[in-house]
Amino acid sequence: MPDADVIVIEDDEDVRLGCLQALALEGIKATGFETVEDARKALPKNYPGVVVSDIRLPGLDGMSFLAELAASDPDLPVIMITGHGDVATAVQAMRDGAYDFIQKPFASQQFVGVVQRALEKQRLATEVKRLRRQLTTKGDLENRIVGRSPAVMELRELVQSVSSVPADVMILGETGTGKELIARCLHDLSGRTGPFVALNCGGLPETLFESEIFGHEAGAFSGATRQRIGKIEHANGGTLFLDEIESMPMAMQVKFLRVLQERVVERLGSNTLIPVDFRVIAATKADLLELSDEGKFRSDLHFRLNVITIELPPMRNRREDIPLLFDYFVTQAASRLDREPPPVRESVIRELLAHNWPGNVRELRNQAERYALGLKTAPGHDAAGGSISLSSAVENFERGLIVEELKRNDGNISKTADAMAIAKTTLFDKIRKYDIRVRET
């Protein structure tokens, strides 16, 4: 993507340089091209700037390029440069979607003024798109982060409130709690126009890590036959999601810390510093402070990443969401398999509530998919961690009953105790024991 607010296509070198100099004097970054063919190679999809093009050009002419741009991105402002005999053509260009036209010879201030107005239009259009996307995603958040437990309601509120904050985020959670889902929600709500780039630090050999994340130039090392853009550079304008950050090699942590501090990246085999604008969302299931004390993770990198912390609750601490989530996953699986979702009986829910779910949401989803296929294996039959003791199953079931009754009574302790025929003090003791968060409505 060109680091420019304006692309100028003009085959007359003097006119092209004059345009670029006039824009530079006003602090507007611009890049010039002699032909449409050259400009097209550098023009990215959804270019957030302005295109200025002469009508008469060698090769593809400006009018044909205008039609091409209008078809691919109707909101992109295109300014046409015309000669004396091209006014009628310029008027037609306006009808075909051009933002404005300017006739040769023109004064520098006239040209700059037209470009500035076009840039302002583009900025407003980009902001409107961002707000629309944010509103759509906000309404969709409950369908993505599914659950009615207090822990999940607090999680959705936190994601909503910090998504647009330009700060790095650390997501903490056990395996299977949905760390990448939360990272994607943060990106979608952030308004950032660049891509969401995910990298699992634990699934990458140390020998390939540096090239994968920083990129390399052709000939940088044996086998590097072509230039490669690294994950950091690819995430420019967007979000870089680093899962299992605790697995990042120590040598890479030093280099990555420098990128975070200076927001520039240097490809292997190059001496050029490339500015990058990206947000980092890191995720871990480990205690990074403990790893820092053991010398296995850099404490300065931990503190640099840990600006905003989002902790995901394990499934065992949000059992009230199990029936809703299971039904949701069964319906999803049945739709994907093009079959009717089987009814979820109460006996199945009791089994689900009694299970400890060491694999968290991922394990619950797998169980739901088996159920949708008619493979009604008992929860935990093939899960890591094996079966749980009878006492644990009873406690899990009791916790689920209390949570459900609290929900039916809108969090009212007295009504819940009466409905369950137990003393209020006993109910308080069990709420503390099972770490149940109560939210009265």
372 and 398 assigned to the same domain: no
Question: β-strands 50-54, 6-9: how paired?
Answer: parallel
- Of 164-178, 207-221, 279-293, the one with minimum mean pLDDT is 207-221
Domain contains 132? no
| Whole-number Å distance between alpha carbons of 290 and 297 | 9
223 and 237 assigned to the same domain: yes
Look at residues 255, 287, 313 and tell me which one is the last residue of a structural domain: 313
Domain contains 138? no
Which CATH number fits the domain that encloses residue 309? 3.40.50.300
Domain contains 320? yes
| Whole-number Å distance between alpha carbons of 151 and 119 | 44
Domain housing 384: 314-388
Look at residues 74, 95, 127 and tell me which one is the last residue of a structural domain: 127
308 and 351 assigned to the same domain: no
153 and 250 assigned to the same domain: yes
| Whole-number Å distance between alpha carbons of 215 and 99 | 38
Residue, of 150 and 2, whose pLDDT is higher? 150
195 and 80 assigned to the same domain: no
| Whole-number Å distance between alpha carbons of 438 and 323 | 19
Average of per-residue pLDDT across 365-393: 67
Domain contains 423? yes
Which CATH number fits the domain that encloses residue 350? 1.10.8.60
How many residues are present in the chain?
441
pLDDT-derived band at 392 (thresholds 50, 70, 90) equals low
155 and 299 assigned to the same domain: yes
410 and 379 assigned to the same domain: no
Question: Residue 344 has what pLDDT?
Answer: 84
The label of the residue with tokens 């929860």 reads: 379
Distances (CA, A) of 267 to 229, 259, 274, 310: 8, 12, 8, 32
28 and 160 assigned to the same domain: no
Residue 389 has pLDDT above 70, yes or no: no
Cβ(7)–Cβ(13) below 8 Å: no
Over residues 142-188, the pLDDT tens digits come to 888 988 888 999 999 999 999 989 899 999 999 999 999 999 999 98
Between the ranges 191-200, 384-393, 405-414, where is the mean pLDDT highest?
Answer: 191-200
Strand order in the sheet with 100-103: 30-33, 6-9, 50-54, 78-82, 100-103
Over residues 64-86, the pLDDT tens digits come to 999 999 888 888 999 999 876 67
164 and 304 assigned to the same domain: yes
| Whole-number Å distance between alpha carbons of 237 and 387 | 46
199 and 158 assigned to the same domain: yes
> CA dihedral defined by 252, 258, 264, 267, rounded to 10 degrees?
-30
Over residues 16-50, the pLDDT tens digits come to 999 999 999 999 999 999 999 999 888 888 888 99
Domain contains 141? no
Residue 384 has pLDDT above 50, yes or no: no
| Whole-number Å distance between alpha carbons of 100 and 114 | 8
Which CATH number fits the domain that encloses residue 89? 3.40.50.2300
Q: How many domains does the chain contain in total? A: 4
Over residues 329-350, the pLDDT tens digits come to 998 888 888 888 888 887 888 8
Domain contains 248? yes
Which CATH number fits the domain that encloses residue 414? 1.10.10.60
Domain contains 253? yes
Look at residues 313, 334, 360 and tell me which one is the last residue of a structural domain: 313
Domain contains 136? no
123 and 158 assigned to the same domain: no
What is the DSSP secondary-structure string of 153-195?
HHHHHHHHHHTTSSS-EEEE--TTS-HHHHHHHHHHHHT--S-
Please compute Rg for the chain using Cα positions. 29
194 and 302 assigned to the same domain: yes
Q: Which of 356, 366, 368 is nearest to 326 (CA)?
A: 368
| Whole-number Å distance between alpha carbons of 94 and 100 | 6
pTM comes to: 0.61
Cβ(183)–Cβ(241) below 8 Å: yes
